[in-house]
Homo-oligomer: A and B are copies of this chain.
C-alpha cells in the first residue's frame, strides 16, 4: 500500500509561468476550483497561510487601537449610489440580489464589493460629538466583484480580506492614519512574507473610486511583473458630506469628519507563491509557513529511529515551532517531493547513522543546502536556521527587484524594458501622458514612490517640466 500516491510533476516556470502558477495552487493543495464559476475553495493548507497573515495583521490593528466589527453583506442600491464616483467605480461589477425568500425585492441589494457606504450609514447613527472620535474600525470578511477572468488568489469573483474604515476629527489625523496603515501592510510583506515592497502614491487615474489619495505597495513577482499588494485610501470629507455625517466639535460647531479605508486581501498569497516559488513547487518563508519543519525518520524500522524522530518533533513543538512528523509508510523520495511541493522551509531527517553521530540533518527548501545539527543544539540551531531562511528569501526577492528596476528617459526605453521589470521615469503629472505611455509602451503606472529620485527635468511623453518620478510596469 505504500507509495500509492504519485509524485506529481508541475510545469516549469520558465516554460509557462501562468501554468506553473496554477499547478502550484492546486498541487500544493492551496485551492480547488469550485462548481460555482469564478469562485474558489481555499483548502486547509491555503487557509492556514491566511490565518497566519490574519493573526499578524489583527495584532497590529489592535496595537494601534482598531476594533473589529461586522457589517451587513448587502448594500441597497440607493445606498451605494450616494457617493457619485464610488458607485461609478463599483456598480458595473456588483452581484445583485433581487429575490428574498419567494418575493421579488422592492429594491435590489448588491453583495458588498467594499463597505464604505455601509460604514457611513452606521456612523450617521452613532457619531455625535468630538468625544466619539476617532472611530477606528476593521472588518474581516469576503467581498464580491463580478470579474470576467479569474485566477486563484489573484482575481476571483469573491475574495477574503480585511477592510479598515476610520473617521477622524481632522484631515491631518486621517492622513496620518492612512500612512500608518500602509506602513503596517508594508511591514507585513517585508517581515512576515519576506517580500520587498515599493511604497507610493497612486495616480489620479489609478486611485480608488471616491478617494482623494490612494497609497499603495507594489511588489515584483519572479517573472518581473508587478502585483498591487495592498492599498490605503484617504477620502477627505467626500463621503461624509454625501452621507451628511457631522459631529459637534469643541466649539459646538457641526463639522464633517475625515475618512480613511484600507484593505489587504488573499491576493497576498498569490504574491507569495509568485515571489518565492520554484520548479519544485511552493517555497514558504518560515514565519508564515503553516508547517515550519517536517521531521522524517530515515530507515524507520531500524532500532531507535522512530523514537528519535518523535523526540525531535516533541522538542521543537516545546519551543513553539510549527512542526509535523511524517511517520507514514510512504517512501522517503515521495515524502521529499511532497514537502517540497508544499514549500515546508526545513526538512529534518534522522536515520541510524545520525543517531550514532548524535545529529540530525536539516535540508533547506530554499536552496537544498544540507546542515548537520548536533542534537544537543537543536533548540538553538533550528530557530536560527529558520531565520536564516527567512532572510535569504527576502534578500533573493530584493535582488530580483533591484536588478530589474530600470531608469529610462524615453518612451522607447520604457517599451524596451516593459516585459523585463519596473521602469522608472520622470513624469509631468498629466493623465494624458500616463495614457500615452500605456498605449505606446504597454505599461500601467504602478505608483509615484515615496522614495523619489531625480532622473531628469522633463516628462518623456510631452517634454514639459517633470513633477515626479513614477514607476511603470506590467501588472497582474
Q: Can you report 23 residue pairs joining A to B where beta carbons are below 8 Å apart? A: A32-B125, A33-B125, A34-B72, A35-B76, A40-B72, A41-B69, A41-B118, A41-B122, A43-B126, A47-B68, A47-B69, A74-B158, A92-B101, A92-B102, A93-B101, A95-B99, A95-B101, A96-B98, A96-B99, A97-B98, A98-B98, A98-B99, A100-B146
Rounded to whole angstroms, the CA-CA distance of A348 and B408 in the bound complex is 66
A69 contact from B44, B74, B102, B157, Cβ within 8 A? B44
Q: Are A68 and B51 in contact (CB under 8 A)?
A: yes
A129 contact from B4, B44, B102, B111, Cβ within 8 A? B4
Q: Are B68 and A122 in contact (CB under 8 A)?
A: no
Q: Are B70 and A4 in contact (CB under 8 A)?
A: no
Once A44-B137, A98-B98 are accepted as A-B contacts, the answer to whether A122 and B70 lie under 8 Å apart by CB is: no
For the complex of A and B, 7 pairs with smallest distance between CB atoms: A44-B67, A39-B72, A101-B146, A42-B70, A96-B99, A100-B146, A36-B72
Copy count, this protein chain: 2
A70 contact from B74, B76, B93, B160, Cβ within 8 A? B160
Q: Are B48 and A68 in contact (CB under 8 A)?
A: yes
Partner-B contacts on A (CB < 8 A): 4, 32-36, 39-44, 47-48, 50-51, 67-76, 79, 92-102, 108-109, 111, 118, 121-122, 125-126, 129, 131, 137, 141-142, 144, 146, 148, 157-158, 160
Closest Cβ–Cβ distance, residue A476 to chain B (whole Å): 20
Q: Are A74 and B39 in contact (CB under 8 A)?
A: yes
In the complex, what residue of chain B is closest to A66 when comparing beta carbons?
A: B44
B contact residues around A96 at 8 Å (CB):
97-100
Closest Cβ–Cβ distance, residue A372 to chain B (whole Å): 33
Rounded to whole angstroms, the CA-CA distance of A35 and B102 in the bound complex is 22
Rounded to whole angstroms, the CA-CA distance of A298 and B146 in the bound complex is 57
Rounded to whole angstroms, the CA-CA distance of A157 and B109 in the bound complex is 13
Q: Are A122 and B34 in contact (CB under 8 A)?
A: yes
Rounded to whole angstroms, the CA-CA distance of A148 and B144 in the bound complex is 25
Q: Are A43 and B69 in contact (CB under 8 A)?
A: yes
B contact residues around A74 at 8 Å (CB):
36, 39, 95, 158
